[in-house]
């Protein structure tokens, strides 16, 4: 930020953000929404910069959504860095929609939930039961509150992007979903709000995830089984990394492919490095 960058306007209420968007619409503005839970890093800012290219009014929501945290996950421990987030958004976003929990859920957790079906039950959904229902429910609410022309999500959460697209198609929501490529550190580590929990040895070990994806991608011409074997060999060589899953899925269905699969595929990895759980993925072409 420079001293000349205008701070975004902070809007804590649903009525207020609706008024602001309605006002922009009278000027025929295209509206872009970047939903976040704050603790912003360069990966989020890449979404906001892309929103700037696609929209005239850029809205960033900052809301730590209790609905998507399981009972064993520490909602209170989730990093909250609101002032730093606002500074990072100066000159990039026009409005920050930052509601309190009581504004979004005035009657407690919603009775109505969006469920993602089969594709929400596997991978992240299997490790974090209820997470995707909570995520889809709040994204549906945010889309309905802001009514953007375009909403942007990071490709790092590939299953989230798939499920949001599926919801938008299934419910005929009038918004286009833009996935923005994962931003990485110079050494390949995918940016994540959780990287702040990695001490130097854990950070070194965490590079195993992106290295496993590179090894996996290098085996793509030999089929899905070879892709998995190459990725697994890399993880097995690093005892500090406990693999949760490594999978090759069809990006059209998010189902695991078998060894006969040819064409586009996504390699998914999730692992624990110490107490920190990390995910990453890579798009490959098999065959
Ligand atoms: O990816 C996230 O930060 C969250 O899942 C989202 C999309 C903001 C919904 O709470």
Which mutation among 36, 178, 194 tests ligand 1's pocket best, with the greatest number of atoms within 8 A of CB? Answer: 36
Pocket test for ligand 1, best of 45, 68, 114, 179 (most atoms within 8 A of CB): 68
Distance 225 CA to ligand 1 centre (A): 32
How far CA 197 is from CA of 155, 226, 241, in Å, comes to 22, 33, 15
For the chain, percent of residues with pLDDT exceeding 90 = 96
36 CA distance to ligand 1 middle (Å): 5
At 48 the pLDDT is 98
d(CA 43, ligand 1 centre) in Å = 13
Average pLDDT over residues 13-41: 98
Residue 10 has pLDDT above 90, yes or no: yes
Instruction: Select from 33, 35, 142, 165 the residue to mutate for testing ligand 1; criterion: most ligand atoms less than 8 Å from CB.
Output: 35
Confidence band of 77 (pLDDT split at 50, 70, 90)? confident
DSSP 8-state class, residue 191: P
4, pLDDT greater than 80: no
∠ CA 131-84-192 to the nearest 5 degrees? 40
- Indicate if the pLDDT at residue 177 is higher than 60: yes
Q: How far is CA 175 from CA 6, 48, 62, in A?
A: 28, 17, 19
Hey, what domains does the chain have and what are their CATH numbers?
A: 9-180 (3.40.50.620), 193-286 (3.30.1300.10)
Span from the CA of 162 to the centroid of ligand 1 (angstroms) = 13
- By alpha-carbon position, which residue is closest to atom 3 of ligand 1? 36
Taking the centre of ligand 1 as the mean of its atom positions, its distance from the CA of residue 201, in whole angstroms, is 28
Interatomic CA distance for residues 75 and 260, integer angstroms: 42
* Residue 233 burial (CB count, 10 A): 13
* Residue 212 confidence (pLDDT): 98
Q: Output the ligand 1 site: residues, CB below 6 A.
A: 35-37, 65, 68, 135, 138-139, 157, 160
> What pLDDT, on the 0 to 100 scale, is given for residue 124?
97
Nearest CA to ligand 1 atom 6: 36
Give 158-169 pLDDT, tens digit per residue: 999 999 999 999
Ligand 1 atom with least separation from CA of 64: 10
Residue whose Cα lies nearest atom 9 of ligand 1: it is 135
pLDDT at res. 5: 79
Q: Atom 8 (ligand 1): residue with closest C-alpha?
A: 36
pLDDT at 74: 80
Phi/psi of residue 175, nearest 5 degrees: -150, 145
Residue nearest to atom 2 of ligand 1 (CA): 36
* Model pLDDT for residues 103-134, shown as the tens digit of each residue: 999 999 999 999 999 999 999 999 999 999 99
Instruction: Judge whether residue 72 has pLDDT over 90.
Output: no
Is 163 in contact with 120 (CB distance < 8 Å)?
yes
The pLDDT of residue 2 is above 60? no
Query: Residue 242 has what pLDDT?
Result: 98
Model confidence band, residue 3 (pLDDT cutoffs 50, 70, 90): low
For 216-260, the pLDDT digits (tens) are 999 999 999 999 999 999 999 999 999 999 999 999 999 999 999
pLDDT, average across residues 149-153? 99
| Element of type H or E holding 187 | none
What confidence score (pLDDT) does residue 1 get? 52
pTM of the model: 0.97
Helix, strand, coil: what percent of the chain each, to 5?
40, 20, 35
Q: Say what the pLDDT of residue 34 is.
A: 99
Q: Which residues are catalytic?
A: 44
Phi and psi (nearest 5°) for 139? -65, -40
Closest atom of ligand 1 relative to the 65 alpha carbon? 10
Return the minimum-mean-pLDDT range out of 71-75, 79-83, 225-229.
71-75
């Amino acid at each position: 930020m420079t001293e000349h960058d205008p701070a975004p306007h902070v809007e804590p209420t649903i009525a207020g953000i609706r008024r602001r968007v309605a006002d922009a619409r009278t000027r025929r503005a295209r509206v872009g929404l970047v939903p976040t839970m704050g603790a912003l890093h360069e990966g989020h800012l890449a979404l906001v910069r892309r929103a700037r290219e696609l929209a005239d009014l850029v809205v960033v929501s900052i809301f730590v959504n209790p609905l998507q945290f399981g009972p064993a996950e520490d909602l209170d421990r989730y990093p909250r860095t609101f002032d730093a987030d606002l500074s990072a958004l100066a000159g990039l976003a026009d409005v920050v929609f930052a509601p309190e929990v009581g504004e979004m859920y005035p009657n407690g957790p919603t009775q109505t939930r969006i469920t993602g079906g089969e594709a929400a039950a596997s991978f992240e959904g299997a490790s974090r039961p209820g997470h995707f229902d909570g995520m889809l429910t709040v994204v549906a609410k945010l889309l309905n509150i802001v009514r953007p022309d375009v909403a942007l999500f990071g490709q790092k959460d590939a299953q989230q992007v798939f499920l949001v697209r599926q919801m938008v198609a299934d419910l005929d929501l009038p918004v286009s979903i833009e996935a923005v490529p994962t931003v990485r550190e110079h050494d390949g580590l995918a940016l994540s709000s959780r990287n702040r929990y990695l001490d130097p040895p854990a950070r070194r070990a965490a590079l195993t995830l992106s290295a496993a994806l590179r090894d996996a991608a290098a085996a793509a011409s030999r089929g899905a089984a070879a892709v998995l074997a190459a990725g697994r060999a890399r993880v097995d060589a690093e005892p500090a990394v406990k693999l949760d899953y490594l999978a090759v899925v069809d990006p059209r269905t998010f189902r695991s492919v078998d060894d006969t699969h040819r064409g586009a595929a996504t390699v998914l990895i999730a692992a624990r490095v110490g107490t920190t759980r990390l995910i990453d993925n890579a798009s490959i072409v098999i065959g």
